[in-house]
A and B are shown apart, each in its own frame.
Chain A
């Protein structure tokens, strides 16, 4: 209980700082849960991330797996709520502001100015995702085949993901 509470409070603070996504505060989560509290090993920390990537849903939900490993069910609730409460609150405030001032000049400049920056960050995510796979021409080739198929055909991309998973398991990628 005490562990879950301290996890919750720490993740609540990190949740407030996680601008750009939960992965930006991942190093400090590692420091706190692995080094300071010693609740999970470095390997388990990495595996929690891998599990969440393989499962459907927002990747940020790996904090749920991390909490589960660190302190059971209560731990999972603690880390998940710790991250989601700040996100929800800030999104709520932003929604109210949008409802009131959506067409004000400041809001327009805000959105139009930041849109290309957001797109640049999105491209950076693609890049880092690819780099994380490893420097191998076969993974790059696979990514570009997926890009081409997704843009040119109507095939359900779940098939592409499944195909990628099988290629990975057989060691071809």
Chain B
């Protein structure tokens, strides 16, 4: 059994830490803090939440954070989670945006970004490997994972189309599996 957070305040400050750490993507930090550190949810629950966050419009991690917060403490928890996630990054971004207006030279930044993006890709991959361990050891789920990866990653098809084709088949098979 996983234990949840004690109160919305803890949700807020935890998600604030996740948002502030999230250079090059937040998902890695979300998993690291609420699964590996706090054990508030399991890999399986997080992956299922992410799946729903992806089919809803908007930022996936934002949707996922809202739903996690709501699961723990209703609307108060939901707004604690997204408030924590966004507050500090928004302030930082507005300051950066104003600085950019004044100097408008981001070449050095773009060089730094190349290195950071490579590291971020490696970190995200580490999360994916961790979450893959929650998939059942059967052929069908792994096949769907591969096709989804190849469709969006290699073929560059729009995620929406891949989802519309794969989603219903995957759900139907999962339904029959029960």
Residues of A that sit less than 8 Å from B by CB: 15-22, 24, 47-48, 50-61, 64-65, 68-69, 76, 80, 83-84, 86-88, 90-92, 94-95, 98-99, 105-106, 108-130, 132-134, 139-140, 142-147, 150-151, 157-158, 160-161, 163-169, 171-173
Contacts and interface: CB of A to CB of B under 8 A. Distances in A.
Interface in B71-117: 71, 75, 78, 82, 85-86, 88-90, 92-94, 96-98, 100-101, 104, 106, 108-117
Main secondary structure of the interface of A (DSSP, over half): helix
B21 interface: yes
Contacts, number: 373
A115 B138 CA distance: 13
User: Which one of B112, B134, B173 has the greatest number of beta carbons of chain A within 10 Å?
Assistant: B112
Main secondary structure of the interface of B (DSSP, over half): helix
A87 B59 contact: yes
Interface of B: 19-29, 32, 44, 47-48, 50-63, 66-67, 70-71, 75, 78, 82, 85-86, 88-90, 92-94, 96-98, 100-101, 104, 106, 108-132, 134-135, 141-142, 144-154, 158-160, 162-163, 166-167, 170-175, 177-178
A87 B123 contact: no
Nearest to A128: B153
B106 A114 contact: no
Nearest to B50: A118
A118 B120 CA distance: 18
B57 A129 contact: no
Contacts of A144: 122
A151 B129 contact: yes
A146 B119 contact: yes
B56 A119 contact: no
